[in-house]
């Protein structure tokens, strides 16, 4: 499970971003987390992305990072069963909240949101499913190119995705939502789940289903 160390992470991102900019004519391929951080109370946090019936009897919130291997494993495994048996059947509302350990996770989130709500979870599936491939050698330019390749499979254009990746207002809104929500729920690692107000760490589908069935009275 990844641990959130806000001060250290901000420093690493700032240093890494500064090094990349000195090597690449002063610009990153996308907005960095450090650039997107703000204490401006006027910034509207990005809206939650969710699947299922908005009025379902149980709400599940997942805090996850697109660069977290455990999160990718969850989405490639347990999540598919949850979707089939609990989300698609109207039993739970499933909220996906992004955690930004690094600028790459933020860029993946910006690409996921670039196609709008109707494409978000389809893009999230592609990003989690191809995590090792798009992260590749860890080069920012390679990562952006690979994320855009995934976006093109969902029908987005390079121009559209470039605009999304450079949209500082959108990045600030996304980071504001992360800071507000993760702070309120005292999130210390990913994936973390809030099931009707109770916090749980990563678990198998069997354990997840047992908790949901108990809360649903089944």
Which residues of the chain are under the pLDDT cut of 70? 1-41
pLDDT value, residue 50: 98
CA 171 to CA 169: how far, in whole Å? 5
CA 121 to CA 112: how far, in whole Å? 8
CA 63 to CA 29: how far, in whole Å? 25
CA 192 to CA 215: how far, in whole Å? 18
Q: Rounded to two decimals, what is the model's pTM?
A: 0.84
Domain ranges of the chain: 2-216
Tokens at 146, concatenated: 């690979």
CA 145 to CA 165: how far, in whole Å? 12
E strand or H helix at 62: strand 58-64
Residues 6+ apart with CB under 8 A from 121: 49, 51, 96
pLDDT value, residue 68: 96
CATH 1.10.1200.10 fits 2-216, yes or no: no
Listed residue (144, 182, 178, 188) closest to 37, CA to CA: 178
pLDDT, tens digit, for every residue of 141-166?
Answer: 999 999 999 999 999 999 999 999 98
CA 43 to CA 39: how far, in whole Å? 9
Residue found under tokens 């996906």: 96
């Amino acid at each position: 499970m990844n641990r959130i160390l806000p001060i250290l992470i901000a420093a690493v991102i700032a240093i890494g971003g500064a090094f990349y900019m000195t090597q690449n004519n002063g610009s990153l391929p996308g907005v960095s987390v450090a650039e997107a951080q703000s204490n401006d109370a006027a910034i509207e946090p990005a809206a939650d992305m969710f699947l299922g019936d908005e009025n379902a009897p149980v709400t599940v919130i997942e805090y996850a990072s697109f660069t977290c291997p455990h999160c990718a494993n969850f989405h490639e495994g347990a999540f598919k069963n949850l979707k089939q048996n609990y989300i698609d059947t109207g039993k739970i509302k499933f909220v996906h909240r992004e955690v930004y350990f690094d600028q790459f996770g933020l860029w993946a989130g910006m690409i996921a949101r670039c196609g709008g709500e109707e494409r978000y979870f389809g893009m999230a599936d592609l990003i989690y499913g191809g995590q090792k491939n798009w992260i590749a050698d860890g080069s920012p330019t390679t990562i952006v190119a690979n994320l855009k390749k995934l976006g093109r499979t969902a029908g987005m254009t390079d121009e559209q995705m470039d605009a999304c990746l450079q949209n500082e207002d959108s990045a600030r809104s996304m980071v504001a939502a992360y800071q507000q929500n993760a702070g309120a729920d005292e999130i210390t690692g990913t994936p973390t789940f809030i099931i009707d107000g109770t916090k749980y760490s990563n678990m198998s589908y069997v354990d997840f289903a047992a908790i949901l069935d108990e809360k649903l009275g089944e």
